[in-house]
């Protein structure tokens, strides 16, 4: 299946945690280096014939907020819309860019011109043909300043969009744009359904009309979403009849449901992966996967908060944190420290930098230099104001809550008082993150294969509802990000992104904490699961279950 376009970084958070969105399996599918346990060998390739029928029960901590692509930044929404909609392009199993809704595409004039021809056999689920009118409508919607989306940046980089026929269009850029092909991995919106609608209030947000492999069949608010296989999907009907997402806010409860056979797939916690899924029965009935995720967890500061406008304070807080003990305590060692917004080992990662090491003495010196002194109770004060702030985390994410508790303890040793507040996911995003109503926040981001981080770090994105929700502004970073996204020379781009990482390391708008391992588990009856460079979800519509193992059936 395709990977959600920009969630390139998107705040992940839905399953058991990742970035301002819970890490969705769709996103995890973009991660590389999948490892399998001995019991996790590829299934369904020994001469078996794929069968139709059955369903898969997925666990999700968060409920979708909006099923119109681009209108939500949570992975609970994007994971489902990835199954409902299609895009011109997608990644194949080896992370090559290939046509999807497009029959063909061309990259011309050194990348300044893209030409697309759409397939002529794609229908929206209401039977209306998908055409270049829909692509043009998507483009116009995304560049409309009235559209409440955080993902307009890629579309605004387009100089002109021209529909050249009923099924063809071309896109021109003033100069080469590094993310141009990734832009066209974003979902196509149905013009005949959404034209003239308020995208934040339209009923289509809960009753979507897509052209993808599945359709929304039922939504029981706060409980469950059921997707049904589309008989008109142009690449062929999916093998599974249904995909059911069960909303279970508590990870421990979710695991109990998995053990009871009431879930087929979820993301394991490190403790569940290492200690609670061992033995012959688990090896027989389940398949576990482990790979370093394309995500990082961070402590982000509200840079308009009077405490955190001072870089010395931010650096001091970062130096107070022992990242190794954090990884051991939160992830049971299933992660690695990181220095910035890229995955270690990838070409964009600046390996000349080292993760911030705990240095309590230097942290105290920086705080004293910034005017903070301990009072008689050992609490830091400045001008009579105690150094007291709140870390906001989302409810149901035990890893982030544990991280907050460990950080709270480590900062207490410096005389900094930290409160921890947990908030239900939807309110967490809508009322606090989007509105900048927090002191500090623990979240995570996923990152797409292209390292463009404009939407998270450019000053123009520091606005209500924007992805630069901490309010970071740096003129040099702005210039570097703009230049880097207009280049195709990878070596030069690396120079620019290395410099961005150096600045972020010096200024610490985030305390970059760690990159976790992704630890999904899947019931063994599912066939056609083939771990590749693109993870395991790239061919989800081809997964299947033998007839004699289909425990769930669609009732007539």
Tokens 């992966």 sit at which residue? 273
- What would the two tokens of residue 207 be? 């009753």
User: In the listed set 183, 205, 227, which residue is the last one of a domain according to the structure?
Assistant: 205
Residues 345 and 473 in one domain: yes
Q: Residue 87: which of 236, 214, 187 has the closest Cα?
A: 187
Tokens 């300044």 sit at which residue? 112
User: In the listed set 182, 205, 228, which residue is the last one of a domain according to the structure?
Assistant: 205
User: Which range, of 74-83, 253-262, 270-279, 280-289, averages the lowest pLDDT?
Assistant: 74-83
Q: Residue 473: which of 465, 481, 417 has the closest Cα?
A: 481
Query: How many domains are contained in the chain?
Result: 2
Element (H, E) at 267: strand 265-267
Q: Is the pLDDT confidence value at 26 over 80?
A: no
Contact 452, 177 (CB under 8 A): no
Cα atoms found within 13 Å of the Cα of residue 471, Cβ hemisphere only? 18
Residues 495 and 353 in one domain: yes
Q: Residue 320: which of 375, 361, 267 has the closest Cα?
A: 361
The mean pLDDT value of the chain amounts to 89
Confidence label for 533 from pLDDT (cuts 50, 70 and 90): confident
Q: Is the pLDDT confidence value at 475 over 90?
A: yes
The answer as to whether 509 is a domain residue is yes
Residues 170 and 301 in one domain: no
Quote the CA–CA distance of 458 and 470 in Å, as a whole number.
11
Contact 340, 505 (CB under 8 A): yes
- pLDDT digits 0-9 by tens, 110-141: 899 999 999 999 999 999 999 999 999 999 99
Determine how many CB atoms are found less than 10 A away from the CB of residue 527. 22
Q: What is the pTM of this model?
A: 0.77
Buried b (16+ CB within 10 A) or exposed e, 319-357: bbbbbeebbebbbeebbbbbbbbbbbeeebbbeebebbe
Is pLDDT larger for residue 507 or for residue 556? 507
Tokens 């019931």 sit at which residue? 523
Is pLDDT larger for residue 264 or for residue 552? 264
What pLDDT, on the 0 to 100 scale, is given for residue 516? 94
Confidence label for 46 from pLDDT (cuts 50, 70 and 90): low
Q: Is the pLDDT confidence value at 7 over 50?
A: no
- pLDDT digits 0-9 by tens, 477-503: 999 999 998 887 889 999 999 999 999
What pLDDT, on the 0 to 100 scale, is given for residue 489? 85
Rg of the chain in Å (alpha carbons): 23
Residues 196 and 339 in one domain: no
What pLDDT, on the 0 to 100 scale, is given for residue 545? 96
Strand partners, 11: 445
The answer as to whether 176 is a domain residue is yes
Residues 305 and 174 in one domain: no
Give the mean model confidence (pLDDT) for residues 191-206.
93
Give the mean model confidence (pLDDT) for residues 40-66.
78
The listed range with the strongest mean pLDDT (71-75, 461-465, 539-543) is 539-543
Residues 300 and 413 in one domain: yes
Q: Is the pLDDT confidence value at 348 over 50?
A: yes
CATH of the domain at 149: 3.90.76.10
Q: Is the pLDDT confidence value at 450 over 90?
A: no
- What would the two tokens of residue 538 be? 């790239």
Q: Is the pLDDT confidence value at 409 over 80?
A: yes
The answer as to whether 19 is a domain residue is no
User: In the listed set 153, 177, 205, which residue is the last one of a domain according to the structure?
Assistant: 205
- What would the two tokens of residue 68 be? 């119109």
Tokens 């209306």 sit at which residue? 128
The answer as to whether 286 is a domain residue is no
The answer as to whether 257 is a domain residue is no
Outline where 66-157 has alpha helix (H): 75-84, 132-143, 153-156
Confidence label for 94 from pLDDT (cuts 50, 70 and 90): confident
Residues 187 and 307 in one domain: no
Q: Residue 418: which of 442, 444, 383, 437 has the closest Cα?
A: 442
- Coil, strand or helix: which one is 492? helix
Give the mean model confidence (pLDDT) for residues 465-474.
94
Element (H, E) at 418: strand 417-423
Contacts of 335 (CB under 8 A, 6+ apart): 327, 514, 515, 516, 517
Q: Is the pLDDT confidence value at 8 over 90?
A: no
Residues 448 and 343 in one domain: yes
- What would the two tokens of residue 239 be? 């093998």
User: Which range, of 33-37, 126-130, 519-523, averages the lowest pLDDT?
Assistant: 33-37
CATH of the domain at 318: 3.10.105.10
Determine how many CB atoms are found less than 10 A away from the CB of residue 185. 22
Q: How long a stretch of residues is the chain? A: 556
- pLDDT digits 0-9 by tens, 215-257: 999 999 989 999 999 999 999 999 999 999 999 988 889 999 9
Residues 188 and 304 in one domain: no
- What would the two tokens of residue 359 be? 């240095």
Contact 74, 13 (CB under 8 A): yes
Residues 199 and 307 in one domain: no
What pLDDT, on the 0 to 100 scale, is given for residue 13? 31
What pLDDT, on the 0 to 100 scale, is given for residue 488? 79
What pLDDT, on the 0 to 100 scale, is given for residue 36? 36
The answer as to whether 379 is a domain residue is yes
What domain range includes position 117? 86-205
Determine how many CB atoms are found less than 10 A away from the CB of residue 412. 14
What pLDDT, on the 0 to 100 scale, is given for residue 552? 62
Confidence label for 437 from pLDDT (cuts 50, 70 and 90): very high
Q: Is the pLDDT confidence value at 157 over 80?
A: yes
**SS3 letters across 379-410:** CEEECCEECEEEEEEECCCHHHHHHHHHHHHH
Percent of the chain residues topping a pLDDT of 70: 91
The answer as to whether 79 is a domain residue is no
Confidence label for 23 from pLDDT (cuts 50, 70 and 90): very low
The answer as to whether 40 is a domain residue is no
- Coil, strand or helix: which one is 547? helix
Chain-centroid distance of CA 356 in Å reads 24
Q: Is the pLDDT confidence value at 323 over 60?
A: yes
Give the mean model confidence (pLDDT) for residues 147-176.
94
């Amino acid at each position: 299946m395709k990977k959600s376009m920009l969630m390139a970084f998107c705040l992940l958070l839905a399953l058991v945690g990742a970035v301002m969105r819970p890490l969705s399996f769709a996103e995890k599918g973009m991660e590389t280096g999948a490892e399998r346990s001995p019991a996790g060998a590829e299934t369904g390739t020994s001469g078996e014939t794929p069968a139709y029928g059955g369903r898969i029960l997925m666990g999700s901590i968060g409920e979708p907020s909006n099923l119109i692509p681009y209108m939500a930044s949570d992975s609970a929404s994007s994971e489902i819309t990835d199954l409902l909609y299609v895009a011109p392009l997608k990644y194949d199993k080896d992370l090559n860019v290939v046509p999807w809704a497009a029959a063909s595409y061309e990259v011309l004039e050194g990348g300044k011109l893209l030409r697309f021809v759409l397939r002529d056999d794609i229908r929206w689920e209401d039977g209306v043909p998908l055409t270049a009118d829909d692509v043009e409508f998507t483009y116009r919607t995304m560049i409309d300043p009235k559209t409440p989306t955080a993902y307009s940046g890629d579309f605004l980089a387009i100089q002109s969009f021209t529909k050249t026929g009923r099924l063809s269009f071309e896109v021109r850029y003033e100069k080469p744009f590094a993310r141009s092909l990734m832009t066209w991995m974003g979902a196509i919106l149905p013009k005949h359904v959404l034209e003239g609608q308020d995208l934040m209030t339209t009923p289509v947000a809960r009753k979507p009309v897509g052209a993808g492999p599945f359709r929304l069949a039922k939504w029981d608010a706060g409980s469950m979403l059921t997707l049904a296989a589309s008989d008109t999907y142009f690449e062929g009907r999916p093998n599974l009849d249904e995909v059911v997402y069960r909303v279970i806010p508590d990870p421990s409860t979710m695991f109990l449901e998995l053990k009871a056979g009431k879930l087929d797939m979820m993301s394991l916690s490190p403790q569940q992966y290492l200690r609670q899924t061992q033995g012959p029965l688990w090896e027989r009935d389940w398949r576990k996967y482990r790979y370093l995720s394309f995500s990082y967890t961070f402590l982000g500061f509200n840079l308009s908060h009077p405490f955190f406008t001072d870089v010395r304070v931010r650096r001091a807080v970062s130096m107070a944190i022992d990242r190794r003990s954090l990884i051991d305590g939160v992830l049971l060692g299933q992660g690695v420290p990181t220095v910035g917004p890229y995955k270690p080992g990838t070409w964009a990662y600046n390996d000349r930098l080292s993760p911030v090491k705990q240095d309590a003495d230097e942290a105290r010196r920086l705080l004293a230099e910034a005017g903070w002194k301990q009072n008689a109770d050992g609490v830091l004060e400045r001008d009579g104001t105690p150094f007291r702030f709140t870390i906001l985390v989302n409810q149901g994410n035990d890893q982030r809550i544990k991280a907050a508790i460990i950080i709270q303890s480590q900062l207490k040793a410096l005389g900094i008082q930290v409160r921890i507040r947990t908030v239900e996911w939807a309110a967490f995003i809508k009322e606090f993150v989007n509105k900048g109503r927090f002191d500090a926040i623990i979240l995570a981001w996923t990152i797409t294969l292209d390292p463009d981080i404009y939407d998270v770090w450019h000053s123009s994105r520091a606005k209500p509802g924007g992805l630069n929700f901490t309010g970071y502004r740096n003129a040099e970073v702005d210039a570097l990000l703009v230049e880097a996204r207009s280049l195709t020379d990878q070596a030069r781009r690396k120079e620019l992104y290395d410099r961005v990482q150096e600045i972020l390391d010096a200024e610490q708008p985030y305390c970059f904490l760690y990159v976790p391992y992704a630890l999904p588990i899947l019931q063994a009856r599912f066939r056609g699961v083939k771990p590749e460079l693109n993870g395991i979800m790239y061919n989800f519509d081809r997964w299947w279950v033998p007839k004699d193992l289909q425990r769930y059936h669609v009732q007539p």
